[in-house]
Amino acid sequence: MRKVDLTDDCWDLLLRLKDGAEISLCPSDPAHALYGPIASARNKFVLAQVGQSLDGRVATPSGDARDISGPDGLAHLHRCRALVDAVIVGVGTVKADDPRLSVRMAKGKDPVRVIIDCRAELKGDEGIFTDGGATVLIFQSSEAPMKTYPNADVIRLMPDETGLSPQDILSALADRNLSRILVEGGARTIARFIDADLVHRLHVAIAPIIIGSGPSGITLPPIDKLSSAHRPATETYTLGSDIVFDCLLKSDIPLARQSEKVCMADLA
C-alpha cells in the first residue's frame, strides 16, 4: 500500500498538466501515480468513484450517506472533480443528497454538473439549480414530458430498452468539449457505465466504518461463476482516513505528450 502525501506544489503541477502543460510525472510518487492518469488523459476518459464502508455500503437503508467518507476521502473526491471537465450523477443521487458537485476541499475549477434524469423527475427547486455554481446539464428521454429548469440546459436523447445510453451521453458531452468525465453516483449509474465498458479507471474509497445494511456502491448484472467477475489491475493507496483502490478497467487512454521532467521523492 502506498501513502499519498500531496503537497501544494505537487497539486499545482497536476492542475497544470490537466490544463495542457507538457510535464513528465514520476510514477514512483504515489500522488503522481494516483492522480496523474486523470490529469494527463486527453480525448475521452471516464473515471468512476465510489465512497463506501468496510462492508461495501454507500448509505443506510434510510438513505443517509453524508458521513461515510472520512475527511481525506472527501478531499480525494473533490480532487477528482477538479481534474475533470464534468461530473455525472443520476437523478436518485440528486433527490437523496441534493449535492453541489463542486470543488470545495481542493484547489481547482468546478466541473460542469451533469444529471441523468430520464423521466424528468426533478422539480426545479433543487439546490443545484439555485446555488450559483457551475453549468448544469440535464439529460432527459425524448419520450419524457418536456421540462425546463432554472440555470440549466436540457439535452433530450432517444432512450433504448434500459433508458438513456451511456455512450450517447458521453457523445453529447464530447460535442460540448467535455471529454474528461467523473461518474460519481449512484450505484445504478456507475454500473451502467461499467457494464457498457466505458469506464477507464474506478476509484473505490473505503472508510473504516461498518453500516451493516443499506445499498451497495456498484450494482452490476448477476454472474453465475467467479470466473466471470471483473479482476482489474489494482493499486492501493492510503489517504489517511480512507483507503483508495485504483482499478484499471480500460487501458486505451490517450495521454498528454510529456516533456518537462518533474520528479519528486517517493514518500510511500
CA dist., res. 51 & res. 60, Å (int)? 13
Integer angstrom CA distances of residue 184 from 9, 91, 227: 27, 12, 27
Residue-level pLDDT at 230: 83
SS3 string of 63-129?
CCCCCCCCHHHHHHHHHHHHCCCEEEEEHHHHHHHCCCCCCCCCCCCCCEEEEECCCCCCCCCCHHH
Residue-level pLDDT at 106: 95
Residue-level pLDDT at 259: 45
In sequence order, the β-bridge partners of residue 238 are 3, 243
188 domain-assigned: yes
Residue-level pLDDT at 85: 98
Residue-level pLDDT at 253: 61
- CB 121, CB 91: distance < 8 Å: yes
As to burial, measured by CB atoms within 10 angstroms (0-12 exposed, 13-18 middle, 19+ buried), residue 228 is: exposed
CA dist., res. 181 & res. 170, Å (int)? 8
237 domain-assigned: yes
- Return the C-alpha cell found at 13: 503541477
Domain that holds residue 74: 2-219+230-260
Residue-level pLDDT at 116: 98
Q: What is the total count of domains within the chain?
A: 1
225 domain-assigned: no
170 domain-assigned: yes
4-27: burial string, b at 16+ Cβ within 10 Å, e else: bbbeeebbebbbebbeebebbbbe
Q: What is the CATH number of the domain that holds 27?
A: 3.40.430.10
Residue-level pLDDT at 67: 75
Residue type at position 233: A
Residue-level pLDDT at 227: 86
Residue-level pLDDT at 27: 84
CA dist., res. 80 & res. 201, Å (int)? 12
Phi (first) and psi of residue 237, to 5 degrees: -130, 140
267 domain-assigned: no
The ranges of the chain with pLDDT < 70 are 252-268
Contacts of 69 (CB under 8 A, 6+ apart): 51, 77, 205, 207, 242
266 domain-assigned: no
67 domain-assigned: yes
pLDDT in tens, 167-217: 999 999 999 999 999 999 888 999 999 999 999 999 999 999 999 998 888
For residue 149, the 8-state DSSP code is -
268 domain-assigned: no
Residue-level pLDDT at 250: 86
CA dist., res. 264 & res. 28, Å (int)? 8
CA dist., res. 112 & res. 221, Å (int)? 29
